[in-house]
Structure 1
């Protein structure tokens, strides 16, 4: 009896005008510890950068596959990352973040036949790369995922890495509490935190998009979920979208605008057989007229190590 082949992993780096951080991102992929996996390739998708990104890519061209094209935005770049990857598993990486040396080895040890998504915790760092928080922070964003390529392709097109979380909701995920990526907070991060509620509205839009995609999949369900499960998960994401809308309105001081999304959150929680804990927390925040999350910091400031951990770029 022969041993099963080692899982092939593709590291795919998503970059738009992050040349100042890109070298560290690439190096973190090249310096991964050996383990029960094969580093099949490192791909950099340069999404129309106008800074020194092309120059950084040229320095690593002997070890990295470079895909340079006109700017198409994050959603298309993430979709292309899944289409371009040739490995069995995909480790996406935002170019302003970088992996811990044990990232691929540790994730590979968690691979089992029934798992399609592995996520892990992160170290939140500032512009200079130094930790901002004394303890690791739960992940869920781009750089904290390892996703099975064929399962990821069944969800395309995606607008955000939240789409891959549906695999976990279908019972095919696994979370590691080791901080295996460094998540950088800086004024040029993708998610807009300059206006109260803007980040929450963005997350709501992503959740609605994913819910629509899951319903579309019910016509020909993928191997990882039944049509009934897809409908149930879809309702759960609509409930999360409504919860984000409530939060956005509270952050902007529009308490009366929370009533409709609050009702929608309850309806979709019921249809999705979701726990009521999230709805009750949201209801309590409306009753107190106080957002669950603190307003975002001004774009030029950096949170201190004692600040509460900010949401990831696209945390659900």
Structure 2
């Protein structure tokens, strides 16, 4: 039997997910990895989540706090953990059987992040689309760094599809611009180690009314919030790279990323107006600069649709772009194209 294996801390934060938290915890307890620590923090739930969590009190580290939001609750969970690697698992998601055994070989000091594909499921656990994002097997961080410099991001799963080496989260400082735990961390990971991409479904990402509600009303202020977080992460990343990676070239943060241009165009649409030609031109130029192949074509068509369609239709496709789960018919197609 192997000894001195890395400890993996699975940190679950929960707010009013009594329906799902038990299944989530069970999916971790059933993993075949001896050096596993489970930390569950209840963020002041008003339902029976804490009672459900207490059913596992002999197998987990559990804490209940006042309601403070996902970021602060996640950081509390991190402070309670001692793992060499950490995995933030959303309380409504589950990790697949045998997943930890499959990633165990990558829990190495040179690896900063492990990412894998997720299968979208409904509230009853039934699959409702294709696994995403599309990942190619790799241990090379170079292309991801290039993507960050070019686009401001790289393709990565939601929180429940990522495992991080602990030090990626240490010394991050203030994140006042952020709501979730892994916004700047996923960007930093390629600069401080190898990012391992696994082209397998090792988790399930639940789509249901509660998490869809965050997209229920599209407003220009919401679009501005997305832009502010995106830019905040990049400015924070630039600072962290300078502090931690002396040999790395400085991150130059721009204002004309395609993602930013897209959100600005959509903010005009959701205000009942039509983007002007200068906005359309800036968006198309950014798309052409940052993308190729099917993704470039899809985004160009999207940009043109925002400009030419009646506002009601333009708003509808904007809502699908922000949250593909709104459309049962288009979910799989959009994820296949937009996550390649």
TM-score, with normalisation over the residues of structure 1? 0.77
What secondary structure, in the 3-state scheme, does the structure 2 residue paired with 1:147 have?
Answer: strand
2 CA distance for matches of 1:104 and 1:265?
Answer: 42
Partner of 2:144: none
> Does the CA-based 8 Å contact 1:205-1:241 persist in structure 2?
no
Partner of 2:132: 137
Partner of 1:32: 31
Deviation at 1:184, TM superposition (A): 0.5
Match of 1:207 among 230, 238, 244: 230
Compared CA separation, residues 72 and 276, structure 1 to 2 (3 A): same
Match of 1:128 among 97, 121, 124: 124
What secondary structure, in the 3-state scheme, does the structure 2 residue paired with 1:221 have?
Answer: helix
1 CA distance for matches of 2:116 and 2:256?
Answer: 21
Compared CA separation, residues 13 and 250, structure 1 to 2 (3 A): same
Deviation at 1:197, TM superposition (A): 5.9
Deviation at 1:206, TM superposition (A): 2.3
Deviation at 1:16, TM superposition (A): 0.6
> Does the CA-based 8 Å contact 1:82-1:153 persist in structure 2?
no
Q: Does residue 152 of structure 1 match 2:175? A: no
What secondary structure, in the 3-state scheme, does the structure 1 residue paired with 2:203 have?
Answer: strand
Partner of 1:162: 183
> Does the CA-based 8 Å contact 2:110-2:194 persist in structure 1?
yes
Root-mean-square deviation (CA, aligned residues, Å) is 3.7
Compared CA separation, residues 237 and 19, structure 1 to 2 (3 A): farther
Q: How many matched pairs?
A: 295
Q: Does residue 75 of structure 1 match 2:74? A: no
TM-score, with normalisation over the residues of structure 2? 0.72
> Does the CA-based 8 Å contact 1:9-1:91 persist in structure 2?
yes
Q: Does residue 177 of structure 1 match 2:176? A: no
Partner of 2:111: 115
Deviation at 1:245, TM superposition (A): 3.5
2 CA distance for matches of 1:259 and 1:85?
Answer: 50
Partner of 1:256: 275
Partner of 1:193: 215
Match of 1:308 among 307, 315, 331: 331
2 CA distance for matches of 1:257 and 1:168?
Answer: 38
2 CA distance for matches of 1:19 and 1:68?
Answer: 14
Q: Could you list the runs of 5+ residues in structure 2 that have no partner in the other structure?
A: 134-155, 308-313
